[in-house]
Amino acid sequence: MSSRRLAPWLVIVVGVVLAASGCAALEEMWASIAGPPPQGDAQREVTDSERRAPILLLHGMAGFDAVIGVEYFYKVPEALTTDGHAVVAAVVDPFNSVARRAEQVATQLDKVLLATGARGAHLIAHSQGGLDARYLISTLGYGDRVLSLTTIATPHHGTLIADAALGWVPNLPAEADYAFALIDKLGHGVTGTDVDLQAQLWGLTRRYVEGTFNPQNPDDPRVRYYSYAGVTQAWPFVDRETVDIVNPGLLASYLTLKALEGENDGMVSVKSARWGAFLGVLAADHMDEVGQPMGATSKAFDHLAFYRALSRFVTGEGPAPRLRNLKAP
Ligand SMILES: [Ca+2]
């Protein structure tokens, strides 16, 4: 067996060992990852316009809204509306570049601001949605219309999963282009949206995000930036009330990331998810973070309670949700 064929098995074996060995000290590990609470936010002054500002939810890759009619942020818009927030779930191409998706967000943000008469909005973004938001703020110049951006498991420093996905495509550029053209065509047929998977994946690679995207999209001082990461694990014999078990569909990517980038949610590592004021880790995998599949989330993470508390925080009505095992009040 060649070393090239052996490598994935080695990664999985090492990942299993790491997963098993790490669970005994999960409490301590989470506490150390989360770090100290951000300074000043608990006491910060919030203006009336910030309090009344609308909330725009930005979905990640494969946003479901446009595909099969299932809400990506499962039942979150309804919960926030019940709490009195003006909330809109943006719908952008599920498989397209950050630049293209950010333009689509801009159009929807313009509409929200026009409809509500608000000066700006609070953005809450999952995964790639966080990069769409940063491009919107910095490259498209929307820093004057965004009050805060909170990202949940956004690959601010890229993700190895995108590197790996591009690496699996045949090396010859012509073959790769052909393969992606076929995928894009199939994707368009299924979703009815423009699809550019190669551009999307390339835009999430570690080299591109660190080397190009971040220098080109520096933070806007007018915007408050917050971030969360998700942490899951693969060991089945844990207290499910406090520790998440990875969704089987994310097991391979979780183990790969665990071995090479450390703690992660199955798609994005904690290291990559840190941006602005890092508010902590959620006991959730990448699907649980948005209440998927269809509300069957981690027992250790109540996604509706989290988004309700987060919305109260960004609109100045409460502290930042920092409890890992967050239950409804
Ligand atoms: Ca889970």
pLDDT band at 170 (very low <50, low <70, confident <90, very high): very low
Nearest alpha carbon to residue 77 among 91, 65, 87:
87
Would you give the DSSP letter of residue 265?
S
* In 23-156, alpha helices (H): 26-34, 48-52, 76-82, 98-116, 128-138
pLDDT band at 118 (very low <50, low <70, confident <90, very high): very high
Question: Which residue(s) pair with 151 in the sheet?
Answer: 125, 227
Which comes out higher in pLDDT, residue 296 or 126? Answer: 126
Q: How far is the CA of 153 from the centre of ligand 1 (A)?
A: 14
The answer, yes or no, to whether residue 208 has pLDDT greater than 90, is no
Q: How far is the CA of 150 from the centre of ligand 1 (A)?
A: 22
Q: How far is the CA of 127 from the centre of ligand 1 (A)?
A: 16
Domains and CATH numbers, the chain: 47-314 (3.40.50.1820)
pLDDT band at 97 (very low <50, low <70, confident <90, very high): confident
Query: 42-56, 83-97, 190-204, 251-265: lowest mean pLDDT where?
Result: 190-204
Q: What is the CA radius of gyration of the chain?
A: 19
Neighbours of ion ligand 1 (CB under 5 A): 244, 285, 288, 298
Would you give the DSSP letter of residue 233?
-
pLDDT (0 to 100) of residue 329: 29
Query: 46-60, 110-124, 305-319: lowest mean pLDDT where?
Result: 46-60
Residue-by-residue DSSP string for 101-122: HHHHHHHHHHHHHHHH--S-EE
- 202 CB burial (10 A radius; 0-12, 13-18, 19+): middle
Q: Once rounded to an integer, what is the mean pLDDT over residues 144-153?
A: 96
pLDDT tens-digit series, residues 290-324:
998 877 777 888 999 999 999 999 999 888 887 55
pLDDT band at 78 (very low <50, low <70, confident <90, very high): very high
Q: Who's near 60: CB < 8 A, 6+ residues apart?
A: 72, 125, 126, 127, 128, 129, 290
Q: How far is the CA of 2 from the centre of ligand 1 (A)?
A: 34
Distance in angstroms (rounded) separating the CA atoms of residues 196 and 202? 10
pLDDT (0 to 100) of residue 166: 67
Helix (H) or strand (E) holding 300: none
Q: Please calculate the CA angle 272-326-296 and round it to the nearest 5 degrees.
A: 85
E-strand spans in the chain? 55-58, 87-89, 121-126, 146-152, 224-230, 277-282
Q: For residues 214 and 154, is the Cβ–Cβ distance under 8 A?
A: no
The answer, as to whether pTM is greater than 0.85, is: no
- 172 CB burial (10 A radius; 0-12, 13-18, 19+): exposed
Rounded percentage of the chain residues whose pLDDT exceeds 70: 70
Q: How far is the CA of 239 from the centre of ligand 1 (A)?
A: 13
Q: Who's near 74: CB < 8 A, 6+ residues apart?
A: 290, 291, 292, 294, 295, 303
Q: How far is the CA of 23 from the centre of ligand 1 (A)?
A: 15
pLDDT band at 325 (very low <50, low <70, confident <90, very high): very low
Q: How far is the CA of 231 from the centre of ligand 1 (A)?
A: 9
pLDDT tens-digit series, residues 225-244:
999 999 999 998 888 888 89
- Residue 44 vs residues 103, 184, 220, 237, 308: alpha-carbon distances, Å: 32, 46, 19, 42, 19
The pair of structure tokens assigned to 196 is 């550019």
Q: How far is the CA of 236 from the centre of ligand 1 (A)?
A: 11
The answer, yes or no, to whether residue 137 has pLDDT greater than 70, is yes
pLDDT (0 to 100) of residue 327: 38
pLDDT (0 to 100) of residue 54: 95
Distance in angstroms (rounded) separating the CA atoms of residues 3 and 1? 7
Query: 58-67, 91-100, 121-130, 154-163: lowest mean pLDDT where?
Result: 58-67
Q: How far is the CA of 208 from the centre of ligand 1 (A)?
A: 29
Q: For residues 227 and 275, is the Cβ–Cβ distance under 8 A?
A: yes
pLDDT (0 to 100) of residue 86: 94
Distance in angstroms (rounded) separating the CA atoms of residues 231 and 250? 12
Query: 29-43, 102-116, 313-327: lowest mean pLDDT where?
Result: 29-43
The answer, yes or no, to whether residue 162 has pLDDT greater than 60, is yes
Which comes out higher in pLDDT, residue 200 or 33? Answer: 200
Distance in angstroms (rounded) separating the CA atoms of residues 84 and 82? 5
